[in-house]
Chain A
Amino acid sequence: MKLELRFFASLREALGVSQESITIPDSVKTIADLRAHLIERGNPWADVLAEDKVLRCALNQVMVDANTPLQEKAEIAFFPPVTGG
């Protein structure tokens, strides 16, 4: 499955990446699976996306939880809790 990844704010800076096209194996089915898959790349991914870090995730620009299934060609964004207003 092909996905478009986006990273924002402190995550973007720590990873040094704002956007990336990725092809994932069939075993990666949910947002949580994708996070684990990226952690397997080692640092800085493992550190920035570690389980104990509080992150938010959006699928096609709508906030979703970790159990949400991925969709072909979806835009998946990871970011810290928001601080606007």
Chain B
Amino acid sequence: MPSPIRVQEKDFDISAEIALLRKGDPRVGAVVSFLGTVRDMNDGSQVKGMTLEHYPGMTEKALQEILDQAKIRWDIYQTLVIHRVGPLLPEDQIVLVVVTSAHRGEAFAACEFIMDYLKTAAPFWKKEDTPQGARWVDARVTDDVAMARWKKC
């Protein structure tokens, strides 16, 4: 069984990953996935490409903590996070989160929780290549708001 937390430069096959995650587990009645991709536009500028930096070691720890929290909060079975680093182009796949459960409600909620926490707690940084030059992406206030709502649950 491949690791449920992968930080890698290479691309991934979403169908193969989902098939592998639910294989041999007939309890599963719901699979929810989120796929993040690279947009060609951000903050009013064209994006020609981007480079993703991360904090090796801490990244894996932070993602493990997020998955552990999701498993405590919801009745889910398997979880998977794949996040790419290094140079990426518009339309490239960047992040995949998959959650399996008996029922969709738990899987939807857990998948959204994992993404919201990843956005604010996992040490990844995007640097965009725009016609005006390279620039580090600023964190969004809406990401903090999205994460904060889970604290009230």
Residue positions of A touching B, CB distance < 8 A? 6, 8-10, 58, 61-63, 77, 79-85
- Whether B61 lies near A85 (C-beta < 8 A) is no
- Whether B139 lies near A84 (C-beta < 8 A) is no
A19 to B123, CA, bound (A): 16
Q: Report the number of A-B residue pairs with Cβ-Cβ less than 8 Å.
A: 70
Which residues in window 120-138 of B have CB below 8 A to A? Answer: 120-127, 136-138
Query: Interface size of B by Cβ–Cβ distance < 8 Å?
Result: 27
Residue positions of B touching A, CB distance < 8 A? 36, 52-55, 57-58, 61-62, 83, 94-95, 115, 118-127, 136-139
Beyond A8-B53, A82-B121, 6 extra complex contacts between A and B, CB < 8 Å: A61-B61, A62-B61, A63-B62, A84-B52, A84-B124, A85-B115
Q: For B123, list chain A residues within 8 Å (CB).
A: 8, 58, 77, 79, 82, 84
